[in-house]
Structure 1
Amino acid sequence: MSTVLVIDAACDLPRQFIDERDIQVLPISIRIDEQTFTDDKDARTLTDFYAQGLLGRDHDAESLPFSAEQIEALFLDRIVTQYDFALVQTVSRKRSPIFDNATKASHSILRSYREVRAKAGREGGFGLRVMNTGSLFCGQGLLAAFTSDMIRMGKSKNEILKLTESMRHKVYSYLVPPDVYYIRERARKKGDDSVGMISALVAKSFDIVPILCGRDDETFPVAKGRGFKTSVDRLFQYAIKHIRAGLFTPYVVVSIAGDPNDLLAYESFQELERVAGEHDVRVLSCVMGLTGGLNVGPGCVGLALAAEEHEFDG
């Protein structure tokens, strides 16, 4: 049985890794004023987008994830004729309708795939499962990297589902936003009051920069620092500590809503890469997807790892 992993474009992974692992992507577009941009996970395209400075609060912007009908069309065109089982992993269902859209599409796909598959000369049935990762951006990427390892190892469908379901609860995904007020404004436009006006203004006034954790469909602050660099350094040092202690997966995913080369300006990031290499851990660094950049702001840094249950201790 051939198995394929399908992710949505909110998932932060390097395009090269996605291609190496034959991971399929559900595109996500964002509309900014009168222009529409589609995230195809290409690093140069994404870096150029951030360089244009189009995500300022003075621009009207919204995310445009694939509808159920678009997901169904993509599967019937590209997936059901090439694979026997597909596992779809989505961004937290509390932050996007993608999980619900994919679930709706799955019912139609499983009713209509047989004729399409027969015409392509593909024998046997087709299976499909949609999984809510409960995570955000880098966290999605970490779970996807783990899942692709399971597929490469030839695990059965049931083993993959069991292992990934267990692993998703071990994923810790973090974000350091340069401007909390930006997040508050974007959230407010979507009817999300999780970031209050007072906390946003206080953070801005005193240059307090939080470290946010996205886990099990919840997003909450776990630490803070005076200034953006301080909080980013603190996050990288936290990751270094847990690499040394031992991780559940040999990956740490890091993304930035901007040029990935900017990460090299942090000595703590260079140390992270060095320590990871010493412990056979691969740092997957990439440009943050458009959905992440839209919601948490340009310049935001994200990181994810999988570890034992713990409080943030960076």
Structure 2
Amino acid sequence: MKVGLIVDSACDLPHDFIRKHGIFILPLTAKIDNQTFIDDHNPDTTEDFYRQGLLGKGHHAETEAFSAAQIRDLFLEKVVPNYDIAICETVDRSRSQIYSNASEAMNMVMAHAKAVREKAGVEGNFTMRVIDSGQLFAGQGLLAAYTISLLGKGLSKNALRHEVEKFAQNVWICVVPNDLSYIRERARRRGDKSVSGLVAFLGKALNITPIIWGKGVVAKPAAKTRSKDAAVEKVMNYAVTRVKAGLLAPVVSLSCGMSWEEIEALPGLDRLREVCKEHNVELLLSRMGITSSIYIGPGSVCLSLAAEEHEFEG
């Protein structure tokens, strides 16, 4: 029985990891100025996006979930003939229509799956589940990596869903935004007033960089620093501390909205690499996808890990 994992393009994972484990990417549409991108984590498309500097000042960027009909067609063509069971994990439902559209598409897919498989000469039934990950970006990537580790254990789809949802309750995320005013403007367009104009103004005027930390999408400022480098180093120190204390899964997920040269120069990254290696923890380091970069802003950093209850220490 072949089980496949589907994630949407808000999920940040290294391209090699996606390819190695055969993870299927459910695309989103990104619209920047007069250009439209299909964000399916194609590394060439992502590289072109960064190279053009499309998130620079003055660019208007929006993301749009595939419709239920588009997702249905994609699943019937690419998923149903190739898997017996499909697990689809979406970005938190409060931040996108993807979960709703994928759930609607799933119901339509199940009505046609048998005929599609028969036409393709594939025996056996097809079934799938759509799961709200409750996560964003690196957090969603961490959950996907954990799900991959479960797929070879022979769990039923309901047991698998239970384990994934239980694990998601212990996923912690840190975000270092590069530009608070960018996040505020993105939030304003969505009707989200969680980032006030005053905070954005002070961050820009006084060069204050906050660290946003918490579980899943329930996060709050955990520290304020005088520079982005200082904030990043605190996040790396936090991750090192948690790795040494023991994680619930031997994985740390880190995505960055910048060039690989800038990523490699991040303060504290080498130390985090060393500690992860010493404790047999896999560091999933990736460049933010187009969707994540639009949401958080270029130059931002997002880290995620799974651990018991704790306080932020950087």
Bin for the TM-score computed over the shorter chain: over 0.9
Give yes or no for the alignment of 1:94 onto 2:98: no
1:260/1:286 contact within 8 Å kept: no
Which residue pairs with 2:179 in the alignment?
A: 179
| C-alpha separation in 1, matches of 2:186 and 2:159 | 39
Which residue pairs with 1:32 in the alignment?
A: 32
Which residue pairs with 2:201 in the alignment?
A: 201
| C-alpha separation in 2, matches of 1:126 and 1:96 | 27
Which residue pairs with 1:146 in the alignment?
A: 146
Give yes or no for the alignment of 1:189 onto 2:189: yes
Structure 1 window deviating more from structure 2 (81-90 vs 41-50): it is: 41-50
2:136/2:216 contact within 8 Å kept: no
Which residue pairs with 1:137 in the alignment?
A: 137
Which residue pairs with 2:284 in the alignment?
A: 284
| Matched AA of 1:242 | R
| Deviation for aligned residue 1:163 | 1.2
| Deviation for aligned residue 1:109 | 1.1
Which residue pairs with 1:41 in the alignment?
A: 41
| Deviation for aligned residue 1:156 | 3.3
Which residue pairs with 2:5 in the alignment?
A: 5
Give yes or no for the alignment of 1:56 onto 2:56: yes
Gap regions ≥5 residues in structure 1:
none
| Matched AA of 1:113 | A
| Deviation for aligned residue 1:226 | 1.2
1:43/1:287 contact within 8 Å kept: no
Partner of 1:285, secondary structure, is strand
| Deviation for aligned residue 1:40 | 2.6
| Deviation for aligned residue 1:216 | 4.2
Which residue pairs with 1:303 in the alignment?
A: 303
Give yes or no for the alignment of 1:116 onto 2:116: yes
Per-residue CA deviation, residues 228-287 of structure 1 (Å, 9 max, x unaligned), is 111110001000000001111111111111113322213410000011000001111111
| C-alpha separation in 1, matches of 2:37 and 2:15 | 17
Per-residue CA deviation, residues 55-99 of structure 1 (Å, 9 max, x unaligned), is 124112110221111110011001111111111101111111111
Partner of 1:82, secondary structure, is coil
Which residue pairs with 1:71 in the alignment?
A: 71
2:86/2:129 contact within 8 Å kept: yes
Gap regions ≥5 residues in structure 2:
none
Give the TM-score of the pair, scaled to structure 1: 0.95
| Deviation for aligned residue 1:52 | 1.9
Supply the RMSD in Å over aligned alpha carbons: 1.5
1:175/1:212 contact within 8 Å kept: yes
Give the TM-score of the pair, scaled to structure 2: 0.95
Equivalent residues, number: 314
